[in-house]
């Protein structure tokens, strides 16, 4: 039975939403050239905040121009290998975590952009992408040490729920910020010592009362008042890792009138550090290895959001699910509809 051409989601113009700005297009089938492999994807990971920011042309640091393919991470099975490829054989499971490799049913590219993993299970997809981000944010940028106090925002999310676990494994006290009773229970179940449900409690007041000048590492991907509360409560030598700004989907950061933060940092020898996983590819192999071993040992578990998405078309619903703030754990889309792919 011949297969239909695989498809991918392409940014065609800027727009209000990822759905408005993109189209599903057919990919030109081609055999892998020398050094390349061809992969049929089974799952992709969803980064709805980033997707929305690129749709709105709000990502200053890259300035992505349409037309461009979209999505970051996908996992699948190798269908063909080009001349000279030794790292893969047909049938291997392969994962990629590079931008434009994500929202597509198939991918042909340099073998070096893929990693061989034990199986095309979504767990390897989540570990190789979001897991690596969690580990590098905490250990490489945050430079966490045993027994420190670690705060994390969006703690029930794909990234956050892994940071909570990794920090607990390092013997840290974890202060987890998230929105809602169900998320709070989930994060408590992961071992967080203090969960702040920002819908029920004021983050700044709780930190000032219970963790004044006590945050050795704070990892924030939300921004706004949570970022400010983290800055205010950094410990001596504290490190605030800025890894995202979910509150700013427009690329128009809130303008506030407030004292400059230099004094808050200088007297404590504290720092604010940016984290961008895409700029640290040289650290990915060791981070993957460490995470895969922790997972094999049962020390880290990936939770996937309870809503199932199937087929490339449902990437849009998955993006909207992430934006709703209702998801818990990693959001993924199964690309293969039974018997229909290709």
Ligand X SMILES: NC(=O)c1ccc[n+]([C@@H]2O[C@H](COP(=O)([O-])OP(=O)(O)OC[C@H]3O[C@@H](n4cnc5c(N)ncnc54)[C@H](OP(=O)(O)O)[C@@H]3O)[C@@H](O)[C@H]2O)c1
Q: Give the nearer residue to ligand X in terms of CB position, either 154 or 235.
A: 154
CA-nearest of 32, 37, 33, 46 to 76 is: 37
Q: Is 323 in the site for ligand X (CB under 6 A)?
A: yes
State the Cα–Cα distance between residues 99 and 129, nearest whole angstrom: 11
Selected range binding ligand X among 27-35, 115-123, 260-268, 322-330, rule: CB under 6 A: 322-330
- Residue 143: CB minimum distance to ligand X, A: 16
- Residue 26: CB minimum distance to ligand X, A: 28
- Residue 161: CB minimum distance to ligand X, A: 8
Out of 107, 221, 233, 314, the only residue in the binding site for ligand X (CB under 6 A) is: 221
Q: Give the nearer residue to ligand X in terms of CB position, either 106 or 126.
A: 126
Q: Is 17 in the site for ligand X (CB under 6 A)?
A: no
Selected range binding ligand X among 81-89, 281-289, 296-304, 321-329, rule: CB under 6 A: 321-329
State the Cα–Cα distance between residues 4 and 19, nearest whole angstrom: 23
Length of the chain: 342
- Residue 338: CB minimum distance to ligand X, A: 27
Q: Which helix (H) or strand (E) covers residue 107, if one does?
A: strand 106-110
Q: Binders of ligand X among 168-197, rule CB under 6 A?
A: 178-179, 183
Selected range binding ligand X among 58-66, 120-128, 229-237, 317-325, rule: CB under 6 A: 317-325
State the Cα–Cα distance between residues 137 and 143, nearest whole angstrom: 8
Task: Tell me the Cα Rg of the chain.
Answer: 20
- Residue 279: CB minimum distance to ligand X, A: 8
The secondary structure of the chain in percent helix, strand, coil, rounded to multiples of 5, reads 30, 25, 45
Could you give the 3-state DSSP secondary structure of residue 225?
helix
- Residue 187: CB minimum distance to ligand X, A: 9
Q: Is 131 in the site for ligand X (CB under 6 A)?
A: no
State the Cα–Cα distance between residues 162 and 252, nearest whole angstrom: 29
Selected range binding ligand X among 47-55, 81-89, 232-240, 309-317, rule: CB under 6 A: 47-55
Q: Is 243 in the site for ligand X (CB under 6 A)?
A: yes
Q: Give the nearer residue to ligand X in terms of CB position, either 115 or 133.
A: 133
Using the Cα atoms of residue 187, residue 190, residue 195 and residue 200 in order, give the sign of their dihedral: positive
Q: Is 318 in the site for ligand X (CB under 6 A)?
A: no
> Strand 7-11's sheet: what is its strand order?
22-26, 7-11, 68-69
Q: Is 327 in the site for ligand X (CB under 6 A)?
A: yes
Q: Is 246 in the site for ligand X (CB under 6 A)?
A: yes
Give ∠ CA 10-49-55 in degrees, rounded to 5: 35
State the Cα–Cα distance between residues 198 and 317, nearest whole angstrom: 26
Q: Give the nearer residue to ligand X in terms of CB position, either 78 or 226.
A: 226
State the Cα–Cα distance between residues 30 and 223, nearest whole angstrom: 43
Q: Binders of ligand X among 144-163, rule CB under 6 A?
A: 154, 156-160
- Residue 91: CB minimum distance to ligand X, A: 30
Helices (H) and strands (E) in the chain, counts: 11, 15
Q: Give the nearer residue to ligand X in terms of CB position, either 131 or 238.
A: 131
Q: What is the 3-state secondary structure (H, E, C) of 125-160?
A: HHHHHHHHHHHHHHHHHCCCCCCCEEEECCCCEHHH
Residues that bind ligand X (CB under 6 A): 47, 49-50, 130, 133, 154, 156-160, 178-179, 183, 221-222, 243-244, 246-247, 275-277, 322-323, 325, 327
């Amino acid at each position: 039975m011949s297969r239909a051409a695989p498809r991918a989601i392409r940014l065609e113009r800027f727009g209000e939403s990822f759905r408005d700005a993109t189209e599903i297009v057919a990919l030109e089938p081609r055999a892998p050239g020398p050094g390349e492999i061809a992969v049929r994807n089974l799952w992709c990971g969803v980064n709805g905040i980033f997707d929305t920011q690129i749709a709105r042309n709000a990502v200053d640091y890259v300035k992505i121009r349409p037309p461009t393919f979209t999505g970051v991470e996908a996992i699948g099975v190798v269908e063909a290998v080009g001349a000279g490829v030794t790292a893969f054989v047909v049938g291997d499971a392969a994962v990629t975590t590079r931008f434009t490799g994500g929202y597509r049913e198939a991918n042909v590219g340099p073998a070096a952009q893929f990693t061989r993993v034990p199986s095309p299970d979504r767990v390897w997809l989540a570990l190789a992408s979001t897991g690596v981000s969690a580990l590098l944010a905490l250990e490489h940028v945050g430079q966490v040490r045993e027994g420190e106090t670690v705060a994390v925002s969006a703690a029930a999310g794909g990234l956050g729920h892994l940071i909570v676990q990794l920090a607990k494994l390092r013997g840290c006290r974890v202060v987890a910020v998230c929105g809602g009773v169900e998320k709070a229970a989930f994060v408590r179940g992961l071992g967080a010592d203090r969960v702040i449900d920002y819908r029920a409690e004021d983050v700044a007041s709780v930190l000032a009362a219970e963790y004044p000048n006590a945050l050795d590492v704070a990892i924030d991907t939300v921004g706004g008042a949570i970022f400010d509360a983290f800055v205010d409560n950094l410990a001596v030598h504290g490190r605030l890792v800025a890894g995202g700004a979910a509150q700013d989907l427009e690329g128009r950061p809130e303008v506030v009138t407030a004292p400059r933060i230099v004094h808050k940092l200088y007297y404590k020898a504290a720092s604010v550090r940016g984290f961008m996983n895409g700029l640290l590819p040289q650290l990915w192999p060791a981070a993957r290895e460490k995470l895969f071993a922790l997972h094999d040992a049962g020390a880290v578990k990936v939770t996937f959001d309870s809503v199932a998405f199937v087929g490339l078309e449902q990437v849009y619903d998955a993006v909207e699910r992430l934006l709703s703030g209702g998801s818990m754990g990693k959001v993924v889309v199964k690309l293969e509809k039974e018997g229909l792919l290709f």
